[in-house]
Structure formats: C-alpha cells, structure tokens
Amino acid sequence: MTKASTVTDAMLTRRSIRAFSDTPVPLETIRQVLDTARWAPSGCNFQPWEGAVLTGAPLRELQDKMRAAPMQDPKEYSWSDPEVLPECLARLHQVGADMYAALQVDRGDKEGRADFVGRNLVSFDAPAVLLVYFPRVMGPPQWSDVGMWLQSIMLLLREAGLDSCPQEFLSLHAKLIKDYLGVSDESHIFFCGIAIGCGIADDPVNQFDRKREPLDSKVQFLGFE
C-alpha cells in the first residue's frame, strides 16, 4: 500500500488488515512512528501506555506458546458487553457476514470460521506486533488515552506506507503474554496487540466493504446558523 499523504488520506485508507506479506518492517520506521505517537493527547499528562514490539524469533516463540495454550479463564476484560444493545449486535453480525463472505466461508462452516479466528494468534502473518499493556490503576479516562495513542500509531503507520490490525483477541492470552515479556500480572493489565506490516492489497479479506453509520445519526449540531 502506498503512503498516506494527508491525515484525511490516512484515516480513509486505514483498515484492519487480516492478510500480511512477509516484507520485514524496519526497526527505525517503527521507532519513528512510536516516537512521534508519544505526543498523543493524555489527560493530566499521565501517559499510561506501555508496550513491546516483537518480530522474528521472539514473535514466533510467543505465537507458538499461545497456540499450544488454552485461552485464559477468567478473561483479562470483556470487550463484548455492548452486544446487549441491538444496534451494536447488528453491526457485529454485519461485519462478520461481510468478512466471511469475502473469504467464501459459509455461515455453517464452523471449522473454516474457527481456522480463520485462530489466525489471530499469528497476527495474520504480520512481521511485527506491538503488544500493549498498562498499570491496572489506570481507569476509564486512561483507557481512552491509550486508545488515542493507538489511533495515532495506526495513522502514522499509514503515513509510513504500513498497515495494521488492532487485536483485542490477544487479551485471551494476557497472562501468558505478560509472563513472556516479564511484565507483572499483579500490577499490569494487557490490552491488545497491533499487527504491523504490509497488507496484501488484493487479498479478499482486505477488500470487503466496511460500513459506518451516517454522521447525523451519531452527532448533534447545535447553535449553528
């Protein structure tokens, strides 16, 4: 994928990539992106985010450990609570239907769907993965700060001509990941991974149409003439 030339271009060309090429990601590029992302907004300047970037043998070793281990119970946190809202559940079903249709995996093909879900554990073959964690003392405002940091990273990656995929799925192995990184489970919560690399542009899973709600259904404008 070509580099994004403007912030608007980065926003409109960023998508969750689920098929990566094996093209390596230079360390200097990742360092530059992360160094710039330090200037993301941060309430009270707490800067709650922490992380580790893995590639090569360390990444493959961790992925092998995850594939060999059961998902942890209880979960690190729940990302599915909004499914109780009919509109959120409908959006989840829609994006799932569109994605599996692009993959030509039928609704009844449980094995095919499970195999694709399992590809989360290898971050869809991305050559580098950012693993994100932060102190458990951080509350909802700081979770928001981490989200702004991650969005900044993903847009900067697009500016650099790279792609990404945020992966809350990896939190299903949070304790294993923290143990591998030498991060205390008692003091820190693991949030997500960010797969980083060059997306395979013509892979169907990277091409299906994504849907967003109309602006006016989400935002009010008051006091404007």
For the chain, list the domains and their CATH numbers: 7-77+121-209 (3.40.109.10)
For position 225, what pLDDT does the model report? 85
For position 66, what pLDDT does the model report? 98
199-to-16, 43, 157, 167 alpha-carbon distances in Å: 9, 33, 12, 15
Q: Residue 69's closest CA among 179, 213, 224?
A: 179
For position 132, what pLDDT does the model report? 98
Please report, in tens digits, the pLDDT of each residue of the chain (225 residues total): 689 999 999 999 999 999 999 999 999 999 999 999 999 999 999 999 999 999 999 999 999 999 999 999 999 999 999 999 999 999 999 999 999 999 999 988 999 899 999 999 999 999 999 999 999 999 999 999 999 999 999 999 999 999 999 999 999 999 999 999 999 999 999 999 999 999 999 999 999 999 999 999 999 999 998
178-to-59, 136, 166, 183, 210 alpha-carbon distances in Å: 13, 13, 18, 5, 33
Q: Which one-letter amino acid corresponds to residue 37?
A: A
- Dist. CA 98–CA 74, nearest whole Å: 30
For position 118, what pLDDT does the model report? 92
DSSP bridge pairs for 132 = 51, 192
Give the H or E element holding residue 53.
strand 50-55
For position 1, what pLDDT does the model report? 65
Cis status of the peptide bond prior to 140, with omega within 30 of 0: no
- Dist. CA 78–CA 68, nearest whole Å: 23
- Name residues whose C-beta falls within 8 Å of residue 153's C-beta, 6 or more positions apart in sequence: 33, 34, 37, 130, 164, 194
The tokens describing 205, both together, are: 């899973």
For position 171, what pLDDT does the model report? 98
For position 81, what pLDDT does the model report? 95
